[in-house]
Amino acid sequence: MAKICPVCGNSVSFLTMVPRQGFNLHLGCINEFHRNPEKYGGKAIKKTEAQIKAEKEHQQEQEEKAQHQQEQEEKSIYKSVYIKGGVDVKSFDMPFGDMVGFIFKWAMASIPTAIFLAILFLIFTAIFA
């Protein structure tokens, strides 16, 4: 008989099976099962005050880490823009029509430069030829 995980409803193989409270769960489904075991037919686990305190402390630590990481990212952006003197572009999203217009403007702006370089080439050719 196939064993079914009560959390995700998929069959559980011997290699991915973890028994909890008489149920066979996937490794990835254990946390969801422990969050609300009554929803999946299990018994509620009573937590001691020490466990509740430890969970609150852990949650506060996670929030502090996230806030610290956000501050570090903001500082690193500041450093890359102002201290290094450059900007690191990680992603660029532009509609196709705007991109065509941008490329056209870029091509038109390069025409005077091309004319100037052609004149310089003719002058150097006339001098050294």
pLDDT in tens, 41-63: 777 667 778 877 888 898 999 99
Is 57 inside a domain boundary?
Answer: yes
Total of domains in the chain: 1
Q: Is residue 17 part of a domain?
A: yes
Give the CA count within 13 Å in the CB-facing half-sphere of 43.
Answer: 6
Q: Is residue 118 part of a domain?
A: no
pLDDT in tens, 2-18: 577 777 777 777 766 77
pLDDT range class, residue 1, cuts 50, 70, 90: very low
The region, left, alpha or beta by phi > 0 then psi within -120 to 50, assigned to residue 92 is beta
Is 70 part of a structural domain of the chain?
yes
Residue 61 in domain: yes
Q: Is 92 a domain residue?
A: no
The pLDDT of residue 99: 92
Q: What is the pLDDT of residue 78?
A: 56
Range of the domain at 13: 3-82
In the prediction, which pLDDT does 104 show? 95
- Is a pLDDT exceeding 90 seen at residue 119? yes
